[in-house]
Amino acid sequence: MKQIENEKLGREDSGLEECLPILDAKPLVDLRNYDQSTFDRGRPGWYVLLWWLVQAIVFPLTPHPLNSVRCGLLRLFGAQIGKGVLIRPTARFTYPWKVQIGDNSWIGDDVIFYSLEKIEIGEQCVISQKTYLCTGSHDIQDANFKLMTAGIAIGNGAWIATDCFIAPGVQVGSNAVVGARSSVLKSLPAQQVCWGTPCRPRYLREIRGVDE
């Protein structure tokens, strides 16, 4: 009996070895030829560097109650920030001049606006902590790993819960909810509660006490 079990384990081990990934194949890409010279950052290099210094030193040192200072810094560098917007000091903006945030929206701790292209946040939105809004990717079928960019738009009244990933080109409809740790790879319809990886609509969002 023990011999049969050992033989069975041996076959299983052999199967695992056959399924091991190949690690030393020739790369399909040559990153030495990567070229993003056609990408437009929207500002000259010295201006980008100045913003990165301000973001690294000044922005995160502002106390939580000094929200108006953070909004003022973003406006100074070209962001369109509405009234009553709340932004935590650990939020990050690659290029603020490509960011628009509507009135009374909240941006949580460690939210990243990877704004190679425009990111639009509507009014009364909540972008919860550690969410990553990503407008850049690469062409995996291009030997030079070409940069690909597309904007992101979040509709009025939407809530993106904690630690979500929003892919390039995605639009989240007004009043939608995206559940925690979802990966949003395609656009989502309005007023739907959605979650998962990939994120999908699950049911209609309804607000108690609101007349239709």
Q: What is the pLDDT of residue 209?
A: 81
Q: What is the pLDDT of residue 17?
A: 58
CATH number, span 43-204: 2.160.10.10
**pLDDT tens digits along 158-203:** 999 999 999 999 999 999 999 999 999 999 999 999 999 999 999 9
**pLDDT tens digits along 23-35:** 999 999 999 999 9
Q: Where are the domains of the chain?
A: 43-204
Q: How confident is the model at residue 7 (pLDDT cuts 50, 70, 90)?
A: low
Q: What is the pLDDT of residue 19?
A: 82
**Per-residue tokens: 208:** 């108690």
Q: Is the pLDDT of residue 120 over 90?
A: yes
CA separation, residue 62 to residues 18, 69, 76, 195 (Å): 55, 8, 16, 33
Q: What is the pLDDT of residue 102?
A: 98
Q: What is the pLDDT of residue 10?
A: 54
Residue with tokens 């738009």: 153
**pLDDT tens digits along 36-89:** 999 999 999 999 999 999 999 999 999 999 999 999 999 999 999 999 999 999
Spatial contact of 149 and 136, defined as CB atoms under 8 Å apart: yes
Measured distance CA(48)–CA(82) in Å, rounded? 23
Q: Record the pTM.
A: 0.89
Q: How confident is the model at residue 5 (pLDDT cuts 50, 70, 90)?
A: low
